Chain A
């Protein structure tokens, strides 16, 4: 069954801990993205990757880290340096296509992270 799998669905973190959110896709899409969603705000881009072994900072990268060792996987680590990590995190992918400007972003089901 094709798609994007984010895990876990819910995650609780103690202050000072690092946690890693998983994002796996079998859509064979080249580009992968991590967004953060907070109530009353639009999605904000944390990191994105266009190809394996390459990734770029988004608008709010501080306190986060990523890796792209495989095309299928783009894990996000929320470090202790992130001051307000409680949020809903969404992973997305886009295919490489000649009409890139119209390609759809496909989203996973999200991970809700709560700091306790």
Chain B
């Protein structure tokens, strides 16, 4: 049973560019959340998708957008990249919208903005 998978593993972009990160949830999961983790910090919630809709959003600008597909996989898009967007981007999957449901995390995508 494959867990949460993310692609690519690493990515290098320059300021002003756009990037798309991808996530496939654990089998049987229908909810995907995205987190940003800066070096030395805990992960920070970006947004959560369920039934192909954004259900909750953290304190991130509109440059961060996402999408969920009918097969529950998800994309995170970041436009007009800034140096401060350099971070590990984590995807987590779970079942339903219950706030106590265990979230399963992928290994993350390391984004470097030069």
B is bound to A: no
